[in-house]
Chain A
Amino acid sequence: MEYILEPWPWYVSGPLIAIVMFLLLYFGRTFGMSSNLRTLCAIGGAGKKVEFFKFDWKAQRWNLVVVLGAIVGGFIAHFYLSNPIDIDLSENTISDLNNLGFTNAGDSLLPPELFSWENVFTLKGLSILIIGGLLVGFGTRYAGGCTSGHAITGLSSLQLPSLIAVIGFFLGGLLMIHLIYPILF
């Protein structure tokens, strides 16, 4: 039990994620989380106005059930399967974050500087979450997948488009952290 309550090492976590992918393929489906955003648009009636959302979203309900499970899984893992210990970040990361104004890095899963209510309801805080979400939603659909569909499933099946997409993911991430963060924070 102690091993479960401790954070899981990368060499355990990675193969377990591959098992998630494999199970979904075994069930005749596929591992792709961002597709749910399109399904949610369709459920909201977007298909009446935009061709891209005119599809049989009911055939995608299984994936929304995966999402529902993931939320429950997050709850179980966080509240019942975790010792309250800090994330073991590298010293450099902690000091870099400190310089950007993020204190107590690793105390929690997410920085309160971005996700606590008092910061969410500032113009800057709200803008960051909304712009971040917009970019994720727009970018994943444009690229036809996210970390699960391209980085895990696409690379596992040795698909060149997924490799290109993953290079894009890193290009964007590096731009944000190295060039835009110093301006934002």
Chain B
Amino acid sequence: MGKYIKFFLVGIFFGIVLVKSEAVSWYRIFEMFKFQSFHMYGIIGTAVVSGVLFLLIAKQFNIKTIEGNSIKVPLKAKGLSRYIIGGTIFGLGWALCGACPGPMYILVGTGTISMIIVIAAAILGTYLYGVLKDKLPH
């Protein structure tokens, strides 16, 4: 149990940040895709710039994980079709229900119980991908 506490705490922090930043709001996602506010671009942009810096610092100072290994980001497989087609399908859903897989759960915590329907459908969608995987271009 003890080894899971740190993950629970990171999760709490993540949930708080996404609510306080309003990134979980359907309205903010709509506004982003309408290019009517800098807010979401600012969040994603500063997250990526900070992320790049953190990874550079980790490399420069050879910061190890708590297990003593080098900090490594898993590499995504090479490819084009899966990223552009899969990405577009996800984008359609993201804009339709205004929630990506993190916010879906967080919004349940904010009291939107109907979001469980979206989560259940997303699990089913993932299952469908698993079934069709070998027939799809990757």
Q: Interface residues, chain A, CB within 8 Å of chain B?
A: 4, 7-30, 33-34, 36-38, 40-41, 44, 46, 50-53, 61-63, 65-79, 81-82, 87, 89-90, 92-93, 96-97, 105-106, 109-111, 114-117, 120, 126, 128-148, 150-159, 161-162, 164-178, 180
Kindly state the separation between the CA atoms of A164 and B37 in the bound complex, as whole angstroms.
Answer: 23
Some 28 contacts from A to B, beta carbons below 8 A apart, are: A10-B39, A14-B46, A29-B7, A33-B102, A33-B105, A34-B100, A70-B105, A70-B106, A73-B19, A76-B12, A76-B16, A78-B110, A93-B37, A110-B25, A128-B96, A132-B96, A133-B122, A139-B92, A144-B82, A144-B86, A166-B87, A168-B89, A169-B87, A169-B94, A171-B88, A172-B95, A174-B91, A176-B95
Among B6, B28, B97, max chain A CB count under 10 A is at B97
Give chain A nearest CB distance to B26 CB in angstroms. 5
Q: Please, which residues of chain B bring their CB within 8 A of the CB of A7?
A: 20-22
Supply 6 further A-B pairs (C-beta < 8 A) apart from A38-B126, A38-B130, A46-B127.
A13-B47, A15-B46, A168-B88, A169-B88, A171-B91, A173-B33
Q: Which 10 A-B pairs have the closest CB atoms?
A: A69-B11, A168-B87, A73-B15, A172-B91, A137-B125, A133-B121, A156-B51, A14-B46, A135-B93, A74-B109
Decide yes or no: A71 and B124 within 8 Å by CB, A14-B46, A144-B82, A161-B78 being known contacts. no
Q: Please, which residues of chain A bring their CB within 8 A of the CB of B111?
A: 75, 78-79
A-B Cβ contacts below 8 A, count: 501
For the complex, would chain B's binding face be called helix, strand, loop or mixed by DSSP majority? Answer: helix
Kindly state the separation between the CA atoms of A178 and B127 in the bound complex, as whole angstroms.
Answer: 29
Chain B residue with Cβ nearest A171: B88
Q: Please, which residues of chain A bring their CB within 8 A of the CB of B129?
A: 52, 137-138, 141-142
Judging by beta carbons under 8 Å apart, are B42 and A26 in contact?
no
Q: Please, which residues of chain A bring their CB within 8 A of the CB of B80?
A: 164
Kindly state the separation between the CA atoms of A67 and B107 in the bound complex, as whole angstroms.
Answer: 11
Which of B33, B58, B110 is within 8 Å of A109, CB to CB? B110
Judging by beta carbons under 8 Å apart, are B83 and A165 in contact?
yes
Judging by beta carbons under 8 Å apart, are B27 and A14 in contact?
no
Per-residue 0/1 for B59-96: is the Cβ within 8 Å of any A Cβ (1 yes, 0 no)? 00001011101011111111110111111111111111
Kindly state the separation between the CA atoms of A143 and B116 in the bound complex, as whole angstroms.
Answer: 23
Chain A residue with Cβ nearest B76: A161
Judging by beta carbons under 8 Å apart, are A162 and B76 in contact?
yes
Judging by beta carbons under 8 Å apart, are B15 and A172 in contact?
no
Judging by beta carbons under 8 Å apart, are A177 and B30 in contact?
yes
Give chain B nearest CB distance to A88 CB in angstroms. 8
Decide yes or no: A136 and B130 within 8 Å by CB, A15-B46, A156-B48 being known contacts. no
Judging by beta carbons under 8 Å apart, are A152 and B119 in contact?
no
Q: Please, which residues of chain B bring their CB within 8 A of the CB of A70?
A: 11-12, 14-15, 18, 102, 105-106, 109
Judging by beta carbons under 8 Å apart, are B100 and A146 in contact?
yes
Judging by beta carbons under 8 Å apart, are B26 and A61 in contact?
no
Which of A22, A38, A177 is within 8 Å of B51, CB to CB? A22
Judging by beta carbons under 8 Å apart, are B36 and A172 in contact?
no
